[in-house]
Amino acid sequence: MFNFKRLIYLLIAGVILLGPVHGCSRGEGNETKTSNGTQARVMKVVVEKVFPSPMKDILVLPGQTEPWLDIFVPADLAGRIEWMGPREGDRVRKGDLLARIDVAVLKASLDKAEAAFSLAENLLKRRKDLRSRNIINQEELDRSLTEYSLAEGALRQARIEHEKGFVRAPADGMVNYLFADEGEFIDRGKPLLHLVNIDRVKININVPELDVRHIKKGQAAAITVDAFPGMTLAGSVDFVAFKADTATKTFLVRAVIDNSDGKIRPGMMARVALIRRIAQDALSVPIFALVERGGERLIFVEENGVARARTVSIGIIQQDRVQITDGLKPGENLIVAGQSELEDGTRILTQ
């Protein structure tokens, strides 16, 4: 009689014995036989042919926006404030009257100086006429000329002192803060108001000594402001310090941008991007193509179906790409995916 149970046992044993032969290998890639009959693992990779292209060496440094003009307008005269013109937030033009301080005493002195000058002027005219007819001598005419000059100087001084009671805007700008109100007494030299001009905005950055040699006045600068993500503004370098800061060993560089719409306010955080140099024929690779092993930077290139490891030196870093200055040649096939599992000499299959 046919033993059905024994047949089942034989089938199970066959499956167990054949399993390792027909099972799938672990990991990516396939296994192929070499010339000596051994199994060699073939890894699937992605390659990118390398060609020279320009790369920009860009220096990016943080800074803070500042107004183009930042002025505390003082009182040139001590006295009671009779009138304050603009309020906080008002725009003023150069020469506009901002405040008037009590000048009653100075007005009296001015009137007196004007009267004295008028008298000296009339006296000089009469004596010139008398001298032309030889009625008086030259000495008397010279005395009148001296008196006229002194009266003219006194009048000029009285006008200057009187004008100090009328505070005028030294430049175009916006009134940011008022330090005094009408009716208050103010001392000479104390600030009346804070005036700022933000039609242009400047950003001061500290440039390391190794980089400052690449920065020149008038150089273009790309500026981003944290408060406006995704917006890049075109600016220029307005000043490069000639002497380093003794504490930080950095050089002050000032970039300027147009802000006629008033969007950017002083005190905002910004970043200034400056081009140090341009490499016209750089060999650039994706940063993720580099592999760190044993303290060395490696790349892998494809040569006749085999991965070859190269130790490289890097140069410019621009966004997600890096310049390879040594260890890579134009036209080679760089492995950009699957390289982390490779060893030198690994057989590969490109996709």
pLDDT in tens, 164-210: 999 999 999 999 999 999 999 999 999 999 999 999 999 999 999 98
The reply to whether 125 falls in a domain is yes
For residue 231, the model assigns a pLDDT of: 92
Same domain, residue pair 302 and 274: no
Confidence of residue 39 (pLDDT cuts 50, 70, 90): low
CB atoms within 10 A of CB 26: 5
Same domain, residue pair 253 and 108: no
Residue 24 in this model has a pLDDT that exceeds 60: no
For residue 316, the model assigns a pLDDT of: 83
- Comparison of pLDDT for 254 and 15, the residue scoring more: 254
Considering the entire predicted model, what is its pTM?
Answer: 0.64
Sign of the CA dihedral running 24, 29, 30, 32? negative
For residue 18, the model assigns a pLDDT of: 37
Confidence of residue 33 (pLDDT cuts 50, 70, 90): low
3-class secondary structure, 121: helix
The reply to whether 87 falls in a domain is no
Rounded distance, CA 300 to CA 332, Å? 10
Rounded distance, CA 20 to CA 52, Å? 49
- Give exposure, 226-251, as e/b (b: 16+ Cβ within 10 Å): eeeeeeebebebbebeeebeeeeebb
Domain boundary, last residue among 121, 137, 163: 163
Rounded distance, CA 305 to CA 223, Å? 46
For residue 28, the model assigns a pLDDT of: 52
Q: How many residues does the chain have?
A: 351
Same domain, residue pair 249 and 203: yes
The reply to whether 284 falls in a domain is no
CATH number at residue 302: 2.40.420.20
The reply to whether 91 falls in a domain is no
pLDDT 10s digits, 3-17:
444 434 443 444 333
Confidence of residue 20 (pLDDT cuts 50, 70, 90): very low
pLDDT 10s digits, 199-241:
999 999 999 998 899 899 999 999 999 999 989 999 999 999 9
3-class secondary structure, 136: coil
Structure tokens at 203: 């950003």
Average pLDDT over residues 274-289: 86
Residue 258 in this model has a pLDDT that exceeds 70: yes
Percent of the chain with pLDDT over 70: 89
Same domain, residue pair 271 and 314: no
E-only strand ranges, 169-312: 173-178, 185-186, 191-208, 220-225, 232-240, 250-258, 269-286, 291-293, 296-303, 306-311
To the nearest whole number, what is the mean pLDDT of the chain? 85
Domain boundary, last residue among 258, 279, 300: 279
pLDDT 10s digits, 66-93:
999 999 999 999 999 999 999 999 999 9
Sign of the CA dihedral running 173, 177, 183, 187? negative
The reply to whether 236 falls in a domain is yes
Which domain range does residue 127 map to? 104-163
pLDDT 10s digits, 130-168:
888 888 888 888 998 999 999 999 999 999 999 999 999
The domain total for the chain is 3
CATH number at residue 265: 2.40.30.170
For residue 38, the model assigns a pLDDT of: 47
Same domain, residue pair 208 and 156: no
Residue 40 in this model has a pLDDT that exceeds 80: no
Average pLDDT over residues 292-312: 86
Nearest to 131 by CA among 119, 120, 121, 144: 144
Q: What's CA 233's distance to the chain center, in Å?
A: 10
CB atoms within 10 A of CB 51: 11
Same domain, residue pair 219 and 155: no
Sign of the CA dihedral running 76, 81, 84, 87? positive
